[in-house]
Chains A and B, each alone.
Chain A
């Protein structure tokens, strides 16, 4: 037991209970369903823009790309274009692959003692973080896109296709969506990794556990509503359509679980700009990835170098010429 995950876990439970009891007991549908989600959108966008503006206006004085391959050199030495880009186009390719395929996670290694007699410390390739991250991010993306069916009417064809492929297993009724299951499984795996891998557990903070627990709770409540406890989807869609057309109405008969679900989503949105989740915007701006490594071909001057008052040798000599000649020192200019 460890307070670093017990505190976030308790917080998520409390968040759930606040909304659930707030609606079931106190009838605060308007607050949890209308006021808070609007606030969350404002806080999310405001916070996001504020953060990125801060980053955009901070100086990046040095060329510090991290490179993992042969730099551009003599014509007969093969350059590693992706891992050591020297032109904006190659940087773009590198960023694209980083953002969509998480190449740097792919290189993840782990340190462990050999299982044989030698018992040496050895480093080996560890692919599961990459797989888990990929599964998590893509299923989350699909889940978010699928939710757009609640905010559009009629629903655009591209979303219908997405639903079709996501539901292609056609298991049970309502049909299973693969993304929801993968999302829950991947977050649980990422959580298990943090808890049971002692090395990762050692560097994990409450801020690492909290978003995981929150997303797990959101996914679980969503899965419960769809497959087990059931909600009136038409009622909910009239409610969500009301939200996005600025004429919100509270649906009849929809219970606390739904409000707990959107309350936790709203909390996630508000928490987003305050937390490490901002790597969504940050990944685009990381100087170690988005710069071309062309320091040998091009001179980069620190943009905030100010005019330093210098004293050149010529000035020095002008200053001390008489004394230097007097002392018999050699001078460049005699008078």
Chain B
């Protein structure tokens, strides 16, 4: 093969490998989200699990909740910190959205940043949106 072709190909490869670097130079990256504790969450001061645990593990918690409710019709969850919760994504005072009242400023701020789009909202509703 012609040497020039090889070098052109190599240059393209290098540009592709470095794309994470230059992509963030030509665009302005979004700042890291600071999920706001609004409404009831601002006053209770306590989530279901510890803060770090919630950040890393809330999807698994929701999975356990979902299975517990849908499969075993058990709606009571007693957390490690002694509080008990009526397991629900969005219904009632003690649900995720019952406490974290502003979904957009809380859940979505993180999810947009991390590029996750939970499909839950195809069926579940955000109580704020219904009113």
Instruction: State whether A234 touches B6 (Cβ < 8 A).
Output: no
Assembled-state Cα–Cα distance A41/B17 (Å)? 9
Task: Give the top 5 A-B pairs by smallest Cβ distance, nearest first.
Answer: A151-B20, A155-B115, A173-B63, A153-B30, A230-B56
Which residues from A are CB-within-8-Å of B18?
45
Tell me whether A163 and B13 are in contact (CB under 8 A).
Answer: no
Which of A107-115, A215-223, A236-244, A315-323 forms part of the interface with chain B? A236-244
- The interface bits of chain B over 63-81 (1 if a CB of A lies within 8 angstroms of the residue's CB, else 0) are 1001000000000000000
Interface flag for B121 (CB, 8 Å): no
Partner of A52, one of B10, B29, B110, B112: B10
The answer to whether B6 and A52 have CB atoms under 8 Å apart is yes
Interface size of A by CB at 8 A reads 42
Centre residue among A57, A153, A172 by max chain B CB count within 10 A: A153
Residues of chain B lying within 8 A (CB to CB) of residue A152: 20, 23-24, 27, 29
A274 at the interface (CB under 8 A from B): no
Separation of A53 and B14 alpha carbons in the complex (Å): 13
Q: Which residues of B contact A (CB under 8 A)?
A: 1, 3, 6-7, 9-10, 13-14, 17-18, 20-21, 23-24, 27, 29-30, 32-33, 52, 55-57, 59-60, 62-63, 66, 110, 112-117, 119
Do A154 and B30 have beta carbons less than 8 Å apart?
yes
Contact B1 A173 (CB under 8 A): no
Task: Write out the residue numbers on chain B whose beta carbons fall within 8 Å of the beta carbon of A290.
Answer: 1
Closest Cβ of chain B to A265, distance in Å, is 13
CA distance A233 to B21 in the complex (A): 20
Within 8 A of B (CB), among A234-290: 234-235, 237-238, 241, 244-245, 253, 281, 284-285, 290
Bound: A13/B112 CA distance, A:
36
- Does A244 lie within 8 Å of B21, measured CB to CB? yes
- B29 to chain A: which residues have CB within 8 Å? 152-153, 241, 245
Given contacts A49-B14, A148-B20, contact A153 B56 (CB under 8 A): no
Partner of A234, one of B21, B27, B33: B33
Tell me if A45 and B32 are in contact (CB < 8 A). Answer: no
Output the least CB separation between B33 and chain A (Å).
7
Q: A56-B3, A163-B115, A290-B1 are in contact. Are A284 and B9 (CB under 8 A)?
A: yes
